[in-house]
Chain A
């Protein structure tokens, strides 16, 4: 009751004083021409009356401060600085011109209205059909909230904030309308417009939803980890909620997407996304605007993205808008955290796999920064996964047989592997309209399976010795950075421009260093084996604009230019370079799209086109797109999309577990490697209530210009020169499927169940004229995710069932006796992908306990225990074949069995 009274009082004060505000000036322009003495509260009252400036302050606190210095001919801002210094307070002027005197560190990043529970204004509206615009920010950290929805309450008519948290909502019926602001991971809140609120700078704070379930909040709070339905085929997740789901060492954003319909889950061997029958390289991954070319940590078990540094992730499963181009299947758009703008914060996680620490440091009210660092350590989980992926793997070069007793003493296995990643984001907001941000990401995996063999010589002295290092070293990673300037030019025009650099590097050294030291101590080192090196550099400039022409029309347009520089070398015995591919190319393009709303905003149609000029083929590529949604009523929505998509950079995978997988990127040239193309057709229907969502979406993708690659040693008769032929097989394909989703967004028990029936087929002339199942084809995939919350506890379980993936079985085998008398086995491949691995299934479980501060007011972190693969299902990863006694034996290689993990997460704020 008291609170309501207080709120009414504050509101009335604002209303009364607003007339004065129109004349208020900036404090640096106001010079005090009188001498003031007395308590600070009295002094401010007098200045307020005489100069027409409005102050808000704590009267009791300021009454204790005595003012007796010279105030004549002093600018007000200098005086305020001085007085605040004495009183250990801060002051700031908000967008309405009110000067607020607050406690230290209480200046908000931007003056933003708080959502309210009760409407306090009851007067008549003064303006109709108005435009409101502003920014949505997190009430705890002051960070902008991207992709939040801002809706005229009760109508479903609204808009979304952009990546920088800005929104513009036109045709709001009156200036007393109620506006609903909501975002995943936040409590929904209402803004009750009043004629006196600033409409052009209506910044709104929304409060993060608590992990803890309080009885009183159960009815009000949505507890979802993911959100679909706002745009066609789009899923949004918030990393803040990931701790609630089971994990195996890391809260992983890409692994969470694998729990969604349409994204295949049955692949522990890569964290890349197989979206609607597409391959991971057909999924564009943008991190703060730069493209990330490799997403795997530790053989793909984890993704390269540290969830502590990520604010928001959007996955467009298909039919994506004209802004995005360059990939056939899908787009993952990741927005990094800006960092807390109110307070210094530090936090981190410690799991059985890695240590993860982050810090947020605001400087003044215009600059925020975030630093996050994560590194694995050789704990039980790392070792388990590493062993799983390296077991039975021969060393690079077979050792000549020493044999004999005790020989193991001479072999020193020096295995030292780790991954790390580093994220930095610096954000500077020079004005209310501008945001300049710099984002840096570096993640590297160092997988070392080397063996060192040291054979000491007898008798010491100057005897000769011989050492041999078998290197099996893989180092790969990404370095990406972007510098972005966003500006809200006016209420209707918003734009951002960025320059970015992205580098993917992969070095593989499977060689043996033979060192001989002769009697004179002269060392000779000979390197035997293979060395592979891939280096991709992507320089991009892009500029995107959104123009809210009217409430029924929004235009998006932009320009983009990318320069690729890709090097790939493959050499043997450190002398002969067998392959040296250098790819250079430029892509230049632009797009234009227009969102139209018809029939009282029930029908939204977005036609658009993206055009690209590719200088390698010297051709223009036009990608027309069209998407439409029709809100049948407030619950039922029909969606549809169609679009053309081209891809110019292709990832070539050499999946060779024994020799070590290696993949590299090359550019299409339209000769050996065609520019690939996809046409998407999507249609669906959603039934959504505030608490439940049911959706069905069907898709069909037509694919042309697909490439498959093999690097084979092709003997060239009589030419007698090394001829490593790169075989590019080209073909076509299609993917189609239907996805069902039922989601419960409400109450103590939340979660979703999804089922996908899908087909991905390819046809390559080299394998015959028939379509064969693509390697990523999964017919049935069922997933169920449930999260139950009770006070500080949350329990979660995820269950996945998927049809086994196709594989090529051997057709037969034979042995050939070589010239040295040894026999070598050869296995011939059967019909391409005609067999399927056994069905995949897995249950994961987790318990999460919320840690709070001593006064129980602030969340301080959590302790979570996860159990991966609870019923220890032996899921087949791949099959290995051997010819033994004229029989081909098949051995199943399996994914991880039951694995527990414990993670402790702590934060200061």
Chain B
């Protein structure tokens, strides 16, 4: 008796379940179909704004390099602007100077040298928008000193296992005055025309002739001897920087999880327009 009741109920239930399941599957398929179009990729809007690269250095004529962003998507419509036909102006001390184009997006005035303490404003029209930026040449570094003018060192000895590094000279200590927490950066450059490498790089690409520290707000820097890659004369350039430049070293991310727009001081544009002052010392790296 009980069994048959259970059986009947169970058959009925199975039918109910079948109906509900079919309904559910149908509903789900319908929804999947309806919503699948949402996953299609939409073309991103591309903001065609120029990229500026201009360092105003007291000892160098004014140069402004303009370029375009590389679009991520293909088939992006760019504006008709020609990067070599722009009216690039620099405004300073109530004067306006038009910088002539020298081609390939570069504007240069061989007679125009920026001055310390003067504020400069860059301005040009691009795509009906005024692109502008302001900067100032900071003071020349004061009291820039080095601990030694010559160091002697040998390269790594690869004939031993493991390879051994020979005795290293003391680090070269550089110091300068920094009373206002300014940003400074040291760039070390080998100036020889055909420098001799300190280490044997074998088949590998030899390292560049430059190396640097990150922009710092301290008043000293120690160059570890192991960082020198070539023998010969080195220029030790100390740059006194605006914070705008230091911001370029900020990590803006390069993955879909952390992508943020890079820092820039250009209105309606990207890149950098910044005044830089520098002082230079020299160092000889010799073979003992």
Q: Which residues of A contact B (CB under 8 A)?
A: 400-407, 409-410, 455-459, 463-466, 514, 516, 518, 526, 576, 654-659, 687, 689, 691-692, 694, 710, 712-723, 740, 742, 753, 755, 757, 779-780, 782, 803-804, 807-814, 816-822, 824-831, 834-837, 839, 878-883, 886-888, 893
Contacts and interface: CB of A to CB of B under 8 A. Distances in A.
A525 to B, nearest CB: 13
Given A755-B31, A812-B71, A405 B200 contact: yes
Contacts of B55: 819
B227 A826 contact: no
B163 interface: yes
A457 B44 contact: no
B217 A816 contact: no
Given A458-B167, A811-B47, A888 B263 contact: no
A692 B242 contact: no
A827 B263 contact: no
B167 A404 contact: no
Given A692-B17, A827-B262, A831-B45, A410 B252 contact: no
Contact of A826 (B31, B136, B252): B252
Interface stretch (B121-129, B140-148, B178-186, B279-287): B178-186
Contacts of B253: 656, 658, 827
Contact of B248 (A691, A816, A887): A816
A410 B259 contact: no
B165 A466 contact: yes
Nearest to B244: A715
A829 B259 contact: yes
B166 A457 contact: yes
Interchain residue pairs A-B with the least CB separation, the first 6: A812-B69, A715-B243, A409-B162, A807-B256, A713-B250, A826-B262
Nearest to B51: A814
Nearest to A219: B6
Contacts of B41: 835-836
B120 to A, nearest CB: 13
A882 B254 contact: yes
Contact of B204 (A404, A816, A829, A878): A404
Contacts of B229: 401
B82 interface: no
Interface in B156-202: 156-158, 161-168, 170-171, 180-183, 185, 187, 189, 199-202
Contacts of B252: 826-827
Contacts of A715: 242-244, 246-247, 263, 265
A811 B162 contact: no
Given A742-B24, A834-B42, A713 B13 contact: no
A807 to B, nearest CB: 4
Contacts of B248: 816, 818, 824
Interface in B53-102: 53, 55, 67-72
A813 B243 contact: no
30 contacts: A404-B201, A406-B158, A455-B165, A455-B226, A457-B164, A458-B166, A655-B258, A687-B20, A689-B13, A692-B13, A713-B247, A713-B263, A715-B243, A717-B243, A721-B181, A742-B24, A753-B24, A757-B31, A782-B28, A803-B35, A811-B72, A813-B70, A816-B272, A819-B276, A825-B254, A829-B260, A830-B45, A835-B44, A839-B39, A881-B259
Given A811-B71, A826-B270, 16 more contacts: A404-B202, A406-B158, A465-B168, A466-B224, A694-B20, A712-B250, A712-B263, A715-B244, A718-B136, A720-B182, A803-B39, A810-B259, A831-B45, A880-B254, A880-B255, A883-B70
Given A714-B263, A809-B72, A809-B256, A409 B35 contact: no
B181 A720 contact: yes
B103 interface: no
A639 to B, nearest CB: 18
Interface residues of B, number: 93
A659 B251 contact: yes
B243 A518 contact: no
A755 B32 CA distance: 10
A723 B199 contact: no
Contacts of A659: 251
B46 interface: yes
Given A715-B242, A813-B69, A401 B207 contact: yes
A888 B168 CA distance: 42
A400 B211 contact: yes
A715 B207 CA distance: 31
Contacts of B254: 658, 825, 827, 880-882
B152 interface: no
A407 B260 contact: no
Contacts of B42: 834-835
Contacts of B182: 720
A808 B243 contact: no
Contact of B157 (A458, A831, A878): A458
A138 B278 CA distance: 79
Contacts of B243: 715-717, 719-720, 723
Contact of B210 (A755, A779, A812, A820): A820
A713 B265 CA distance: 13
A816 B64 CA distance: 12
Contacts of A719: 243
A822 to B, nearest CB: 7
B67 A814 contact: yes
A403 B199 contact: yes
B15 interface: no
B185 A819 contact: yes
A457 B69 contact: no
B2 interface: no
B270 A828 contact: yes
B271 interface: yes
Contacts of A808: 256, 259
B255 A466 contact: no
A379 B24 CA distance: 43
Contact of A820 (B200, B211, B256): B211
Contacts of B199: 402-404
A404 B227 contact: no
Nearest to B69: A812
A826 B272 CA distance: 12
Nearest to B178: A720
